[in-house]
Amino acid sequence: MDKDLSLSGFLLIDKPAGISSFDVIRKLRRQTGIRTFGHAGTLDPFATGLLLLAVNKYTRLLALLDAADKSYEATMFIGKSTSTGDPEGEVTAISKALPDTEKIDLLQSAVLNIEQLKPPAHSALKINGKRAYELARKDIELDLPERPVRIHEFEVLQYDYPYLKYACRVSKGTYIRSLSQWIAQYLDVKAYTLNLRRTAIGKIDVKRSISPELIDAEGLQANLQQASEILDDKEMIVLDAEALKLLSQGRTVLNPGADQVRILILDESGMCHGIAMRQEGILHPKVNLC
């Protein structure tokens, strides 16, 4: 078997606070000797929680996770706002105003009706080829347009002034710092996101993740998760060596069944060899990992 394929898979990392997602990747490169990593969404340095990484050839499967919802728990600090919307920024305003408790009771229904949010100026979005945070650090004023979002679930977990803790499940591209800012405006207070933890990507729970400290060259393979464990909402087909070879050569394979745009192709050991499309009972290769 291709060595890169045998050392391919997904890693579920519980990112600690104080380092960036790319710091985690750099650390894993040093500890494992593997160079090729991809991610299914980064986390801000102050945030913790689930960082889903793809290793070696499985990076080509990350597109299957693009549309996955993400779940978070966040704690807002009420009484101050910061330039970045998190603890790393400079304090921009201080207020002793208290939120209306009746509005807190109505917060769930209000948040679930949100359709658009403005991304934070201190974000990795590109503007004319430059990251927004690079321009913001130079005190260049940015007026980023609002982007469509969906807040699928929202719940206030605890309110104990000056802290308001909530849980949410949101669509791709939703910035929780922006959501906290919207909540602050709704409650007519100053606030920022004090703590943030990603608890799930799709149905993948952070409880399945491990510390990056536990992964080295010897332990890498033992901690790799296969496509069948991460992408279990997709149709999967196990094929024999002959059929796998045909698909890897760009040829088609007979396979009765309903038309399907994306099917994971596995060998008998459970290793993913790529993605195929079934049309009129014929498999057409779309992504070959071998």
Give phi and psi for 261, each to the nearest 5. -75, -40
Check whether 174 has a pLDDT greater than 80: yes
- Show the tokens assigned to 2: 């291709």
Average pLDDT of the residues of the chain = 92
- Show the tokens assigned to 42: 């980064």
Model pTM above 0.85: yes
User: What is the average per-residue pLDDT within 49-58?
Assistant: 97
Look at residue 136 in the predicted model and tell me its pLDDT: 43
Burial call 94-110: b when 16+ CB within 10 Å, e when fewer: eeeeebeeeeeeebbee
Check whether 138 has a pLDDT greater than 70: no
**pLDDT tens profile 185-224:** 999 999 999 999 999 999 999 999 999 999 988 889 899 9
User: What is the average per-residue pLDDT within 228-250?
Assistant: 96
Look at residue 290 in the predicted model and tell me its pLDDT: 86
CATH topology identical between 3-68+203-229 and 70-201: yes
Write down the catalytic residue from 2, 4, 44, 240: 44
Look at residue 253 in the predicted model and tell me its pLDDT: 97
User: What is the average per-residue pLDDT within 270-280?
Assistant: 96
Strand pairing class (253-254; 235-238): unpaired
Look at residue 85 in the predicted model and tell me its pLDDT: 94
Task: Let me know if 267 is a catalytic residue.
Answer: no
Look at residue 146 in the predicted model and tell me its pLDDT: 85
Confidence of residue 131 (pLDDT cuts 50, 70, 90): low
Are 263 and 285 in contact, with CB atoms under 8 Å apart?
A: no
Check whether 129 has a pLDDT greater than 60: no
Strand pairing class (48-55; 191-201): parallel
Task: Give the residue from 13, 18, 15, 53 showing the smallest Cα distance to 37.
Answer: 53
Give phi and psi for 23, each to the nearest 5. -60, -40
- Name 5's Cβ contacts closer than 8 Å, sequence gap at least 6: 56, 57, 271, 273, 289, 290
Confidence of residue 135 (pLDDT cuts 50, 70, 90): very low
User: What is the average per-residue pLDDT within 65-94?
Assistant: 95
Q: Give me the residue spans of the domains in the chain.
A: 3-68+203-229, 70-201, 234-288
E strands of the chain, at which residues? 9-15, 37-39, 48-55, 70-78, 80-82, 91-94, 116-117, 126-127, 130-131, 147-148, 151-160, 163-170, 191-201, 204-205, 235-238, 253-254, 260-266, 272-279, 282-288
Check whether 123 has a pLDDT greater than 60: no
User: What is the average per-residue pLDDT within 31-59?
Assistant: 95
Burial (CB count <10 Å: 0-12, 13-18, 19+), residue 128: exposed
How many residues appear in the chain? 290
Look at residue 120 in the predicted model and tell me its pLDDT: 84
Q: Which CATH number fits domain 3-68+203-229: 3.60.90.10, 3.30.70.360, 3.30.2350.10, 3.40.50.2300?
A: 3.30.2350.10
- Name 249's Cβ contacts closer than 8 Å, sequence gap at least 6: none
The CATH number that domain 70-201 falls under is 3.30.2350.10
Look at residue 145 in the predicted model and tell me its pLDDT: 77
**pLDDT tens profile 69-81:** 999 999 999 999 9
Task: Give the integer Cα–Cα distance in Å for 221 and 18.
Answer: 27
Task: Give the integer Cα–Cα distance in Å for 265 and 278.
Answer: 11
Say whether 223 sits in a helix, a strand or coil. helix
Architecture of domain 234-288: Roll (2.30)
Look at residue 142 in the predicted model and tell me its pLDDT: 56
Q: What's the DSSP call for residue 270?
A: S
Look at residue 6 in the predicted model and tell me its pLDDT: 82
